[in-house]
Amino acid sequence: MAILEASEIVKRFGPVTALSGAGLQVEPTTIHGLIGPNGSGKSTLLHVIAGRTLPDGGRVVLDGADITRAKPAQRARAGMSIKFQLARVYHEQTVADNLLLALQVRDGIPSLVLSRTRRRHQERVRRLLDDFGLTHVRDHPAGELAHGEQQWLEIAMAMATEPKLLLLDEPTGGMNRHERERTGELIRAAATTCAVVIVEHDLDFIRDLCDRITVLHQGTLVASGTPVEIERDERVAEVYLTRV
């Protein structure tokens, strides 16, 4: 059974129709690429899935539960994590504290007030810092990090609670080649335990990384399949690949 099923999603912003019947079906522990030209509705689809905006039509089902109108916090608690297109970490708090923030989200308010779970999460914080190569900056305010490091920190935060579904909007934006490769490895490691949806402009990166690819164009689904199928697909070539 699919871990995520978004179907017939319609979303309008005033006169602009960002999504007109687009959909996305993601299988467990796969990496699913979401591609399409600028303004094709990729981020909007991700936001509808994550609950940042409510759709005007369609359904979003996470692991069998209809979450179309659920609040973002409910979705997060149901196992969904998102990394936004523009990295959004807490600049004034330290890198380690940003991770702790992500980890302690299910702890009750009394134990947070008494700081009772800080120690319990320490080991996991240490491992995440290590995995993402952020140990040397653990006590720096996150605002001091280089851009790529901020992206990693946000991915680490999104993965901290071991979600079922990880949504990544342009995780390699602003990264150099080496950083991209490292990000690819991190995403692959994440996908051993959860499904990943990744929006990217770098087609080589997507092709190497993804098990399946969905192509959007002007808010509708053009094609969905394996990287090989997508490369052969004529409609995709028409709207998208011809522009390469």
Ligand X SMILES: Nc1ncnc2c1ncn2[C@@H]1O[C@H](COP(=O)(O)OP(=O)(O)OP(=O)(O)O)[C@@H](O)[C@H]1O
Which residues are at the interface with another protein (CB under 8 A)? 36-38, 50, 52, 71-73, 76-77, 81-82, 84-88, 90-93, 97, 100-102, 104-107, 109, 111-115, 117-118, 141, 143-145, 147, 150-151, 157, 161, 170, 172-175, 201-205, 240, 243-244
13 touches which of Mg ion, another protein, ligand X, none (CB within 5 to 8 A by kind)?
A: ligand X
Amino acid letter for position 128: L
Closest to another protein by CB, 32 or 47 = 47
Q: If binding is defined by CB under 5 A, does position 37 make contact with Mg ion?
A: no
Task: CB nearer to ligand X: give 37 or 133.
Answer: 37
| Nearest distance in Å: CB 172, ligand X | 13
- Between 170 and 209, how does the x/- string for binding to Mg ion read (CB under 5 A)? ----------------------------------------
18 binds, among another protein, Mg ion, ligand X, none (CB under 5 to 8 A by kind): ligand X
Residue where the block lists tokens 């094709």: 40
**CA nearest neighbour of 38 among 163, 235, 190, 199:** 199
Write down the least CB distance from residue 41 to another protein, Å: 13
43, 68, 93, 218: which one contacts Mg ion (CB under 5 A)? 43
**Rule CB under 6 A: which residues touch ligand X?**
13, 16, 18, 36, 38-44
* Residue 194: contacted member of Mg ion, another protein, ligand X, none (CB under 5 to 8 Å, by partner type): none
Q: DSSP characters for the chain?
A: --SEEEEEEEEEETTEEEEEEEEEEE-TT-EEEEE-STTSSHHHHHHHHHTSS--SEEEEEETTEE-TT--HHHHHHTTEEEE-SS----TTSBHHHHHHHHHGGGS-HHHHHTT-SHHHHHHHHHHHHHHTT-GGGTTSBGGGS-HHHHHHHHHHHHHHT--SEEEEESTTTT--HHHHHHHHHHHHHHTTTSEEEEE-S-HHHHHHH-SEEEEEETTEEEEEE-HHHHHH-HHHHHHTGGG-
16 vs 65, beta carbon nearer ligand X: 16
Question: Which residues bind to Mg ion, rule: CB under 5 A?
Answer: 43
